[in-house]
Chains A and B, each alone.
Chain A
Amino acid sequence: MNTTADEIGGPDLTALLAVTTPTTEHLAALHARLEAAAESADVLDVAYTAIDTPVGSLLLAATPRGLVRVAYEREGHDLVLETLARRISPRILRSPRRLDAAAREINEYFAGLRTRFDLPLDYSLSTGFRHLVHRHLSDIAYGHTETYQQVAMLVGNPKAVRAVGSACATNPLPVVVPCHRVLRTDGTLGGYVGGTEAKTTLLTLEHAA
Chain B
Amino acid sequence: MNTKPPFERVVAEHGATVLRVCRAVLGPHPDADDAWSEAFLSALKAWPTLPDDVNVEAWLVTVAHRKAIDVTRSRQRRAVPVGEIPERASTVGVPNEDHLELWAAVKALPDRQRQAVAYHHLAGLPYQEVAAILGGSADAARRAAADGIKSLRTRLAGDQPKGRTR
**A19-B28, A41-B45 given; A27·B122 CB < 8 A:** no
Interface of B is mostly: helix
Q: Which segment, of A9-17, A110-118, A145-153, faces chain B?
A: A9-17
Q: Which of A29-37, A186-194, A200-208 contacts B (4 or more CB under 8 A)?
A: A29-37
B91 at the interface (CB under 8 A from A): yes
Q: Mark B78-93, 1 if CB is under 8 A from A, else 0.
A: 0000000000000110
List residues 66-107 of chain B with CB under 8 A from any CB of chain A.
91-92, 95, 98-99, 102-103, 106
Which of the segments A62-70, A79-87, A125-133, A162-170 contacts the partner chain? A79-87
Contacts of A15 in B (CB 8 A): 98, 102, 156
> Taking CB as reference atom, which chain A residue is nearest B151?
A12
Q: How far is the CB of B16 from chain A (nearest CB, A)?
A: 6
User: In the complex where A16-B122, A86-B2 touch, is A22 in contact with B37 (Cβ < 8 A)?
Assistant: no
Contact with B along A30-63 (1 / 0, CB 8 A): 1101100110010110101000000000000000
Chain B interface extent, by class: 35 or more
Chain B CB count within 10 A is highest, among A41, A82, A92, for: A92
B residues within 8 Å of A by Cβ?
2-8, 11, 15-17, 19-21, 23-24, 28, 33, 36-37, 40-41, 44-45, 47-48, 91-92, 95, 98-99, 102-103, 106, 117, 120-124, 146, 149, 152-153, 156
